Structure 1
Amino acid sequence: MHDIARPPHIEGHFESTDVVRDVVIGLSDGLTVPFALAAGLSGVVASAHIVVLAGLAEIAAGSIAMGLGGYLAARGDAEHYASERLREESEIVERVHDEEEEIYEIFEQYSVDRISATPVLEALKRNPKAWVDFMMRFELGLEEPAPNRAHRSALTIAFSYIAGGLVPLLPYMFVQDASSSLRLSVIITLLALALFGALKGKLVGTGWLRSAVQTVTIGGAAAAAAYFLARLLNAHHP
């Protein structure tokens, strides 16, 4: 009797977590901050043109600031990884016994006794690079950053911020009355927030409905707070 060939097992893990994180950071802030600014200005000015100009200025400044922040964060991660790797490379030479004990301690966390872990340790000792890789991953919990990660992070966050920021401004570009534009902006932006939240939840596996509701709630609350604060301050302005 012949064995029936089984199809290859393909695991469906989503691996582009860094890219998703950068897109989420850029889009969420891009949708929320200009939306809140436009809503706040709509409470005190009647000209949609002014709202558009202020919104575009904020998008330009915000995308640069967010992109720079992403660049510095990614550079910091890369420098931290390089520094820790140099330290580990030194320790497996100068403090061999301590590093061996750390290997045993790591395996103990997975209920692997010393006798079973010894062959793995001996194999790692014959390959210093693999030993360092193992310690970086399982002792320190650090993954090597991808090449040019800082530049890609900066560009991804900046362009995501711009894309998100233009959404709430679209009605103001075509409707001259700021009050009417605000109503359209609320509808469009909340729909965009819901779609973005659902897609994010689907990608990262947290549930599309929960993520959509959470994103809409946060974005809507920020815009409402800005709008009513602007109206309140304008009412008390002499």
Structure 2
Amino acid sequence: MSGRAEAHHHHRDVTGGWLRPSVFGAMDGLVSNFALIAGVAGGTTNTKVVALGGVAGLAAGALSMAGGEYVSVASQRELAQAEIAVERRELAGHPEEEQAELAQSFADQGVAPGLAAEVARQISQNPDRALEVHSRNELGVGPGDLPSPLVAAVSSFLSFAVGAVLPLLPYLLGATGLGVSAMVSCAALFAAGALVSAVTARSWWYSGLRQLLVGSGTAAVTFGVGNLIGASGL
């Protein structure tokens, strides 16, 4: 076994503002519009009505996702900025206490007290660097790491629209029944789940099957509801 230290390694970005809304948006668009189309198709054989429902579901869902994600991320960002501002004022008004607090945090992590005090002193000489370190230690995020509401909103809108158009596309191309849409949607559900495994620790087949079961089960339930409502003549 080699005693050499590892020269370097790379981690994937786990703090970016685009991955979660993109993945969630695509999954939500695919599942919700597939379920919506299945529900409408269960209640009527009029393909124009089914297609209209799918288009409305795509538009409403994509806009709702984008708006909700924008407000959510903006609120999260504003809260972090307010707390960082508090930390900035503390550093300006009580520099010695903040330096001692930083030294103690290093000591709590196992650094020798003398060394911890020296590192804290050197960091505290640079106000911007001190703010960065204090913010990360106390808030878990630095001033430059805050997610962008606009990136989150656009990612959510586009990804939802991409997911939602897949079950709708067969109807737009002339399909006369739910069968083709269901096949396309099931294939996309499995592929989307398998793709997500690339950024998780799960195997591709497990993620794919899980997403397929969840999405197809949801569509089956809504199809049944639509069928019951259509049969009742409501």
Bin for the TM-score computed over the shorter chain: 0.7 to 0.9
Q: CA deviation at 1:139?
A: 1.4
Aligned residues of 1:47 and 1:176 also touching (Cα < 8 A) = no
2:175 & 2:181 partners in 1: Cα distance? 13
Deviations 1:68-107 (A, max 9, x none): 1121122122212221111001112333454334324432
Q: Does 1:187 align with 2:186?
A: no
Deviations 1:159-209 (A, max 9, x none): 11111111001222234423xxx1222221111111111111102444323
2:73 alignment counterpart: 74
Aligned residues of 1:78 and 1:144 also touching (Cα < 8 A) = no
Q: Give percent identity, aligned residues only.
A: 27
The total of aligned residue pairs comes to 229
2:13 alignment counterpart: 15
Aligned residues of 2:100 and 2:117 also touching (Cα < 8 A) = no
Unpaired runs of 5+ residues, structure 2, are none
Change in 2 beyond 3 A, CA 1:198/1:64: same
**What SS class does the counterpart of residue 49 from structure 1 fall into?**
helix
Aligned residues of 1:171 and 1:184 also touching (Cα < 8 A) = yes
Change in 2 beyond 3 A, CA 1:138/1:45: same
Q: CA deviation at 1:158?
A: 0.4
Change in 2 beyond 3 A, CA 1:215/1:12: farther
Aligned residues of 2:133 and 2:142 also touching (Cα < 8 A) = no
Q: CA RMSD in A?
A: 2.4
Change in 2 beyond 3 A, CA 1:46/1:142: same
| Structure 1 outlier segments of 4+, above 4 Å | 145-148
- Report matched runs for 1:18-29 at 5 Å: 18-29=17-28
Q: Does 1:152 align with 2:151?
A: yes
Aligned residues of 2:25 and 2:157 also touching (Cα < 8 A) = yes
1:143 & 1:92 partners in 2: Cα distance? 15
1:109 & 1:228 partners in 2: Cα distance? 58
Aligned residues of 1:44 and 1:234 also touching (Cα < 8 A) = yes
TM-score normalized by the length of structure 1: 0.85
Which letter maps to 1:210? Y
1:145 & 1:154 partners in 2: Cα distance? 19
1:221 alignment counterpart: 217
Aligned residues of 1:71 and 1:153 also touching (Cα < 8 A) = yes
Q: CA deviation at 1:40?
A: 0.5
Aligned residues of 2:198 and 2:204 also touching (Cα < 8 A) = yes
1:3 alignment counterpart: none
1:88 alignment counterpart: 87
Which letter maps to 2:67? L
1:184 & 1:115 partners in 2: Cα distance? 70
**What SS class does the counterpart of residue 14 from structure 1 fall into?**
coil
TM-score normalized by the length of structure 2: 0.87
Change in 2 beyond 3 A, CA 1:44/1:133: same
